[in-house]
Amino acid sequence: MNNAPSLPGLITDNQATVQVLLPLPLASTYTYAVPTEVKVVPGSFVTVPLGPREMRGVVWPGDPPQIIDRKKLKAMLAVFDVPPLSHDVMQFVDWVAAYTLFAPGAVLRMVMRSGSYLSAPRPQTGFMLGEVTDDLKVTPQREKVLAAARGLNFPVSASELASRSGVSDAVVRTLARTGALRRLETDPDQPFEEPDFRRKGYDLSASQEAAAAEIRTHIKAQSYAGVLLDGVTGAGKTEVYLEAVAAALQQDRTAQVLVLLPEIALTMPFLKRLAQRFGASPAHWHSDIGDAGRRRVWRRVADGSARLVVGARSALFLPFRNLKLIIVDEEHEGAYKQNEGVLYQARDMAVARAAQGNFPVVLASATPSLETAVNVSLGRYRSVKLESRFGGASMPDISLIDMREAPPERGEWLSPALIQAVTENTARGDQSLLFLNRRGYAPLTICRKCGERLTAPGSDTWLVEHRFTNMLVCHHTGFSMPKPERCPYCSSKDSLAACGPGVERIAEEAVAKWPDARIAVFSSDTVQSNSAAQELLAKMAAREVDILVATQIAAKGHHFPHLTLVGVVDADLGLAGGDLRAGERTWQVLSQVAGRAGRAEKPGRALLQTYQPEHPVIAGMVTGDRDAFMAAEQEGREMLGFPPFGRLAALLLTGENETRLNEVARDLVNAVPQAHGVEVWGPAPAPLYRLRGTYRIRFLVKASRDVSIQNFIRAWTGGVKIPSAVRQTIDIDPYYFL
């Protein structure tokens, strides 16, 4: 049964009770009676009454309150016939809640989702190989279908079988009428094919094999280990950690492996790579697969039949039955930080999940985060290095273009030196990448008559012009509007001007400079789906693009074999502002995008346009001395007591009533407890003070490593009553400060 009929509701004095955690922002469980002859265990999914509603929740470990008013006690209504949530997952939910200071029920919601996946979908018709008689006329198309059907271990739909065979659905249905295929009622959420760990991958270099061997020793030990796979761009890190995946799958035939990726755009090429490596497509989890796809993954992860899972950060909260290895690819990426709902850093949570489950976690990067590098230096993580590119390819040569000495033409953004380099590269038939980490046509739209800067309604966020669609867009709130002919403030006609360059403006300049070149734009605004991204990547591979103009989406993990020149339009862009990780992030982005060049036979080079060639980050890119840069960055953070040498937490107050918001901020100031090793900064208006019609005030808490910042915040905020009109959000280990 998926949802059992209503269970008897009569409560007796000696009736057993259980604690049930609901996927709501609730800090505690509720006690319910268990109907006679009904068996539940910790982790069982159940339906229970909550006021006038019926809710789906999980039977949670723990004892009921010592005093229970049995007259008010209600009985659970139904038990789902699905595998119970594992002890490891429940332990992880409690740990994440305690660490992030979010309610356990809010964390459980990330595991359960809406709860709708607990109910099995309506059966569908599937097909398997039937009886192939001698009188069957076997055409080439029919033979393809029969060959595909011989390899099936479970029924698949007509469309799925047709897709595997490369024929139309009609061929499948015709064979079914002959009896050569059997019709069966089947669960549409089919199990995922078993990955074949015996299949051989690419031949590894000596350094790759040594790295893979070391990681395999940690898997064989069947105990926790944090391992940094530190390899230069193009070193073949993926093939190394796929060997670790194979080892984990081989060692335990029920083991599940999770590979986390920072971006959806990386997923589809990676899935094809895994399918080639293991002879089966893995389960993949991200926002682009649709609800039916997510339901299938969730159910098959829960029953353990999905053994290899690839996903974005939220895949960490899938209901794994026997998770034995986590890979965090591009571990340095800020995309692993969740900034809505429960706030968490997926890389750090993955390490905690591995430690609790007593299995290895592999963090892979060409530009490791400072947190990870320090953990290596302190002996908390092991380090495995790949110091050269695979197959003899060389690292790109990196040079600076000092824009003070060689500025672009008036109103333009590309310097003469960069223009010449792209021209020569295109003439040789090689591909070039022009990189600018800024979306849209221009980051600011201003009225030349009255000076007004256009912002989103109720926000301090600037409207960005997108000339391809003739829209003004706010990238923070999602607000958009057609670009008006007149200024909304002074009504001057044709007075709105775009200030500063965006990726679309660079593309416009590229078209003017190289009218005969095939130019494409790669950004999250112009490529809004997986299919569109794959189409563009396929064109790059087929050499149907001469010049790619792109944002950071192109810097992450893509392999462009014919790309030999990278031009960074504004290398200084990420250095401004008060973000403590600004230098580190800029180094990582520039290293990653420069690393797209020369990854195959031809050598590559990168040209960085800069007005600050003496800046340590920019100068360090030329020398390529990553260790020296990281040492300097580490020294600065350590001197100031910033992460990873100290702890940070942000407390954000938001509300529509500015006066009331300031009153709550003053109450919090007066309630700050005295504590050794803790500083509270603020209150201060957030850099984006108004957003979506609300005002925003921020506190920042800095603590030494030996202080529990969570306990301090509990003690501080616990005595302050926050009115319903004000929302308080706590962010442990904040990454963004807007």
Torsion angle, CA of 297/300/301/306, rounded to 10 degrees? Answer: -90
pLDDT of 727 reads 96
pLDDT digits (tens, 9 = 90+) for 7-29: 544 455 567 899 999 999 988 99
Q: What angle do CA 536, 541, 542 make, to 5 degrees?
A: 95
Confidence of residue 258 (pLDDT cuts 50, 70, 90): very high
Cα 195 to Cα 250, 260, 312, distances in angstroms: 10, 17, 20
Could you check whether 206-391 and 393-438+501-634 share the same CATH topology? yes
Arithmetic mean of pLDDT over the chain:
90
**Residue 1: pLDDT over 50:** no
Tokens representing residue 726 in the block: 């004000």
**Domain residue ranges of the chain, discontinuous segments joined by +:** 17-116, 124-186, 206-391, 393-438+501-634, 646-732
Q: What is the CATH number of domain 393-438+501-634?
A: 3.40.50.300
What's the distance, CA 653 to chain centroid?
26
pLDDT digits (tens, 9 = 90+) for 44-91: 999 999 999 999 999 999 887 767 777 788 999 999 999 999 999 999
How far is Cα 344 from Cα 347, in angstroms, rounded to an integer? 9
**Residue 348: pLDDT over 90:** yes
Tokens representing residue 113 in the block: 């989702």
Rg over CA atoms, the chain: 29
Tokens representing residue 133 in the block: 């008689």
Confidence of residue 569 (pLDDT cuts 50, 70, 90): very high
Q: Average of pLDDT values for 646-660? A: 95
Closest CA to 664 of 616, 614, 727: 727
Residue that wins the pLDDT comparison between 547 and 555: 547
pLDDT digits (tens, 9 = 90+) for 176-202: 999 999 999 888 888 898 999 999 888
**Residue 576: pLDDT over 90:** no
List all residues 6 or more positions away from 632 whose beta carbon is below 8 Å from its beta carbon: 616
What does the DSSP assignment read for 58-108?
Answer: EEESSPPPSS--TTT--B--EE-SSPPPPHHHHHHHHHHHHHHT--HHHHH
At the top level of CATH, the class of 124-186 is mainly alpha
CATH architecture of the domain formed by 206-391:
3-Layer(aba) Sandwich (3.40)
The type of residue at 238 is T
Which has the minimum average pLDDT: 151-155, 244-248, 427-431? 151-155
State the DSSP code for 404: T
pLDDT digits (tens, 9 = 90+) for 687-711: 888 888 899 999 999 999 999 999 9
Domain 646-732: CATH superfamily, name plus number: Ribosomal protein S10 (3.30.70.600)
pLDDT digits (tens, 9 = 90+) for 457-469: 887 777 888 877 7
List all residues 6 or more positions away from 144 whose beta carbon is below 8 Å from its beta carbon: 165, 166, 167
Helical (H) or strand (E) element with 610:
strand 605-610
Which has the minimum average pLDDT: 358-367, 498-507, 665-674? 498-507
List all residues 6 or more positions away from 231 whose beta carbon is below 8 Å from its beta carbon: 211, 237, 240, 364, 366, 385, 386, 387
pLDDT digits (tens, 9 = 90+) for 362-377: 999 999 999 999 999 9
pTM comes to: 0.87
Q: What are phi and psi of 426, to 5 degrees?
A: -65, -40
Q: Average of pLDDT values for 489-496? A: 88
Torsion angle, CA of 444/448/450/453, rounded to 10 degrees? Answer: 0
pLDDT digits (tens, 9 = 90+) for 468-485: 778 888 877 778 889 888
List all residues 6 or more positions away from 114 whose beta carbon is below 8 Å from its beta carbon: none
At the top level of CATH, the class of 17-116 is alpha beta
